Amino acid sequence: MKLHLNSLILTIVCLCLIPFSLATATVYQGSLQYTPPLPVGLNDGLMVTGPANQWTSYTVTMSWTVDDSVQNSPNPLYPVKYEYRFQHSGTQYGFSHIIIESSTNFTAGNITGVSGAIMDSVKLQTVLGGNPAMPENVYGIRFNPLTSGVIDWSFSFYSDRLPVWGDFYGRCGGAGGINSAYNQGFTISDVDPTAAPSNGSVANHILRPDTVVPEPAAMALFGLGGLLLSRKRKA
């Protein structure tokens, strides 16, 4: 009985030490879209390029959901879930890959639980490295679809990095011409917005992983508290 009481007290202390930002999870959602015809207008959130009657004649959408709820993560050390959906309204010219901007100290070790995609690389992604029409080189995470010909692509991953505003770039497989899309806020030497994460979009940017890691001590305490509660139930 004394052991159970000590465990319960320790659990309460651990939970009290968790920062309010982690205890109150937030879900952010947003999307950017291009609606034909050309030219791309001020009301379009995406820049779309390619041959006539291909992506430029389709509605192209990039949407995202970011959930910073550690309770929903399979690993409390990776508390932020990033979900993306890249799609167009056509019937062909499926996606080749997508690049999500990240901070330059980001590595593959900052991601776990990738679903719906293959993480190809985390590095400086260059225009000449198979990314035509991308405004400039960008450090980021490249994801590939699980199969070819995908025109409605949803994928997700967990990260230990908090969300900030940034850029993305995606392109098709290249058969019959190269089509690409990226957020209109992605320009040469653009400065990403420093506004706090929110619903919607800021200056035509998307939410992506940052350099900031949620406090590891707090996440470890959360995991310890959950473990103690589990043991108490079994006792």
Are 84 and 184 within one domain?
yes
Are 40 and 145 within one domain?
yes
What pLDDT is stored for residue 142 in this prediction? 98
Q: In what order do the strands lie in the sheet with 111-115?
A: 27-34, 60-67, 80-88, 152-159, 111-115
What pLDDT is stored for residue 179 in this prediction? 97
Number of domains in the chain: 2
Are 123 and 92 within one domain?
yes
Backbone φ and ψ of 142, nearest 5°: -95, 130
* 72, pLDDT greater than 80: no
Average pLDDT over residues 183-187: 98
Query: How far from chain centre, in Å, is Cα 84?
Result: 6
Are 148 and 171 within one domain?
yes
Residues 165, 202: contact at Cβ < 8 Å? yes
Are 198 and 226 within one domain?
no
Which structural domain, as residue segments, surrounds residue 156? Answer: 26-214
pTM of the model as a whole: 0.83
Percent of the chain with pLDDT strictly greater than 70: 80
* 200, pLDDT greater than 80: yes
Mean pLDDT across the chain: 86
What pLDDT is stored for residue 125 in this prediction? 98
What pLDDT is stored for residue 71 in this prediction? 76
